[in-house]
């Protein structure tokens, strides 16, 4: 690999934070910020397609977000519904495979049906795997994987002593994709907030003060630039990594 070229992460995971503050600074309702955030979602998808990133996972609605004021939750549900009606055809044309990740049974049927339809329509696309985490929590994800294994063991299909990190990992969400190489959180907070707890084990973490609606291609390019300068060691020493890398890489 040419060291002048930025390394491209295979999978980027983003906590899109700051919509509410962006709106409040403009004396507008928080839902205005979420609508503006949709434009940044489009920017992120275009960026990943252009950079040939394999997978993009966006945290759109956490299991804790149901506790927000009902007007905000309703506005977000309407926004998701409208976005699905408006964007899926174009995403499909661009070869984007859409998946919704989380406990989908909690959503009302018109929204759930559209989510399922979008997943069916785009299932064979290969240009970019776009995962939208909705009603998702990292602890929920690990618990549901453990439950599936326990059920298989109870049916006598699995020896409990054979359960290890690989078997558990195979039952967590996004197991069909490489784990995120790069985690981005916008909006100035430095936390993971129960997002992809299992999958982020070796991700590089990148935080920016930019509020999500202000995120554009330049902002994402900066994150990639920063990522390309990181030395990823996966528990090894720097010397071991240097020895393992072929000369000139
Ligand atoms: C966090 O900002 C953002 C959310 C909980 C919602 C994210 C939704 C979008 C970006 C809308 C479009 C998404 C799709 C997939 C169509 P916040 O409200 O917590 O902001 P704050 O920290 O400033 O209050």
Q: What pLDDT was estimated at residue 232?
A: 76
Q: What is the mean pLDDT of residues 24-51?
A: 97
In a domain, residue 1? The reply is no
Q: What is the mean pLDDT of residues 193-198?
A: 98
Structure token digits, residue 206 = 């990148």
Average pLDDT value over all residues in the chain: 93
Q: Assess whether pLDDT exceeds 90 at residue 244.
A: no
Give the confidence band of 108 by pLDDT, cuts at 50, 70, 90.
very high
C-alpha span between 216 and 3 (Å, rounded) = 25
Closest CA to ligand 1's atom 8: 60
Question: Is residue 20 within 8 Å of 33, Cβ to Cβ?
Answer: yes
Give the confidence band of 246 by pLDDT, cuts at 50, 70, 90.
low
Give the position of tokens 């059920």.
151
In a domain, residue 193? The reply is yes
Q: Assess whether pLDDT exceeds 80 at residue 16.
A: yes
Q: What pLDDT was estimated at residue 248?
A: 40
The model carries a pTM of 0.92
Distances (CA, A) of 157 to 52, 150, 172, 176: 40, 10, 18, 22
Q: What pLDDT was estimated at residue 2?
A: 45
In a domain, residue 33? The reply is yes
C-alpha span between 233 and 202 (Å, rounded) = 9
Q: What is the mean pLDDT of residues 215-243?
A: 88
Q: What pLDDT was estimated at residue 88?
A: 96
In a domain, residue 143? The reply is no
Q: What is the mean pLDDT of residues 37-52?
A: 97
Q: What is the mean pLDDT of residues 95-113?
A: 95
Active site residue 176: no
Closest CA to ligand 1's atom 22: 18
Active site residue 19: no
Per annotation, catalytic residue among 65, 125, 194, 226: 65
* Domain range for 20: 11-137+179-244
Query: Quick one: what percent of the chain has pLDDT higher than 70?
Result: 96
Q: Assess whether pLDDT exceeds 80 at residue 6.
A: no
C-alpha span between 240 and 41 (Å, rounded) = 38
CATH of the domain at 36: 3.40.1180.10
Q: What pLDDT was estimated at residue 249?
A: 42
In a domain, residue 151? The reply is no
Give the confidence band of 159 by pLDDT, cuts at 50, 70, 90.
very high
User: What's the 95 CA to ligand 1 centre distance in angstroms?
Assistant: 25
Q: What is the mean pLDDT of residues 230-235?
A: 80
Closest CA to ligand 1's atom 5: 61
Q: What is the mean pLDDT of residues 93-121?
A: 95
Q: How far is C-alpha 40 from the chain's CA centre?
A: 14
In a domain, residue 79? The reply is yes
The number of C-alpha atoms within 13 Å of 248 and in the hemisphere containing its C-beta is: 2
In a domain, residue 162? The reply is no
User: What's the 229 CA to ligand 1 centre distance in angstroms?
Assistant: 29
Edge-to-edge strand list for the sheet holding 96-101:
96-101, 128-136, 55-62, 11-15, 182-185, 204-207
Among the atoms of ligand 1, which is closest to the Cα of residue 134?
15
Per annotation, catalytic residue among 17, 19, 141, 181: 17
Give the confidence band of 242 by pLDDT, cuts at 50, 70, 90.
confident
In a domain, residue 164? The reply is no
C-alpha span between 97 and 57 (Å, rounded) = 12
Q: What is the mean pLDDT of residues 123-149?
A: 97
User: What's the 232 CA to ligand 1 centre distance in angstroms?
Assistant: 30
Number of domains in the chain: 1
* Torsion angle in degrees (nearest 10) through CA of 9, 10, 11, 14: 20
For residue 129, list its beta bridge partners: 55, 97
Q: Assess whether pLDDT exceeds 70 at residue 247.
A: no
Q: What pLDDT was estimated at residue 3?
A: 46
Among the atoms of ligand 1, which is closest to the Cα of residue 58?
15
């Amino acid at each position: 690999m040419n060291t002048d070229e930025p390394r491209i992460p295979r999978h980027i995971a983003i906590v899109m934070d700051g919509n509410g503050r962006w709106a409040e600074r403009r004396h507008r309702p928080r839902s205005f910020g979420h609508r503006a955030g949709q434009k940044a979602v489009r920017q992120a998808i275009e960026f990943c397609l252009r950079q040939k990133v394999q997978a993009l996972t966006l945290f759109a609605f956490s299991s804790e977000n149901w506790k927000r004021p009902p007007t905000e939750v309703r506005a977000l549900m309407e926004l998701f519904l409208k976005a699905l009606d408006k964007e899926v055809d174009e995403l499909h044309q661009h070869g984007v495979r859409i998946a919704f990740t989380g406990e989908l049974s909690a959503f009302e049927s018109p929204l759930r049906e559209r989510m399922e339809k979008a997943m069916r329509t785009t299932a064979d696309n290969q240009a970019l795997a776009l995962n939208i985490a909705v009603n998702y929590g990292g602890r929920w994800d690990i618990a549901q994987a453990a439950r599936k294994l326990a059920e298989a063991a109870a049916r006598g299909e699995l020896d409990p002593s054979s359960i290890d990190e690989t078997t558990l990992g195979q039952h967590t969400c996004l197991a069909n994709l490489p784990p995120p190489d790069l985690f981005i959180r916008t909006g100035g907070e430095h936390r993971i907030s129960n997002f992809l707890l299992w999958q982020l084990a070796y991700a590089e973490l990148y935080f920016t003060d930019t509020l999500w609606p202000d995120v554009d291609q330049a902002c994402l390019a900066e994150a990639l630039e920063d990522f390309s300068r990181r030395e990823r060691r996966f528990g090894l020493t720097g010397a071991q990594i240097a020895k393992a890398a072929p000369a000139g890489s």
